[in-house]
Amino acid sequence: MNRHHLLIPMFLAALTVTGCDTPKTEPQAVSFSRDILPIFSAYCVECHQPGGEGLAASGLNLESYDNIMKGTKFGPIITPGSSVSSTLVVLVEGRADKSLKMPHGERKPLAPETIALIRNWIDQGAKKN
C-alpha cells in the first residue's frame, strides 16, 4: 500500500474521533428584551410604528413583543419554533420578492450575526423573555 492509501483512512478516523469528543455547541439562549427588541428598535421601528410607512402599508408595529407577535393585517409573521417558515426571517434574509426585503428599500440588510440571533430566538420558541 502506498502512503496515499494510508493517509486517507487515518484522516477520516481522526475526524470521527474529534466529532465524538466535541460536544455539540448549543446556540446560546437568546433573550427577547436583551437581544431582539434592540434590533427591531434600531433597524425597523422607525417605519414600523404609528406614523411610519411600514405600519401604514402592512399594519405591522415592531415596537413591542405583543405587537410583533400579532403581526401584519394579514396575520402572524413569526412561527414560534420554526425560523425557516417565519415571514419575518424570509424578509430579512431577502428570500422574498426584492420589493419586500427588510429593512425596506435601499437600506443595508441586517448582518448575518443579527439574523442568526433572530433565528435562534424564534427556534427557541419566540418567548417573551
Write out the residues near ligand HEC by the rule CB under 6 A: 43-44, 46-48, 53-54, 57-58, 60, 72, 77, 87-88, 91-92, 99-100, 102-105, 107, 110
Work out how close the CB of 120 gets to ligand HEC at its nearest, in angstroms, rounded to a whole number: 15
Q: Classify each residue of 73-108 as buried b or exposed e, where b means 16 or more C-beta atoms within 10 Å of its C-beta.
A: eeeebbeeeebeebbbbbbbbeeeeeeebbbbeeee
d(CA 40, CA 50): 15
Tell me the closest approach of the beta carbon of residue 28 to ligand HEC, in angstroms.
Answer: 21
Q: Which is nearer to ligand HEC, 54 or 124 (CB)?
A: 54
Distance CA 129, CA 126 (A): 9
User: Shortest distance, CB of residue 116 to ligand HEC, whole angstroms?
Assistant: 14
Nearer to ligand HEC, 16 or 41 (CB): 41
Read off the C-alpha cell for 117.
440571533
Q: Which is nearer to ligand HEC, 51 or 105 (by Cβ)?
A: 105
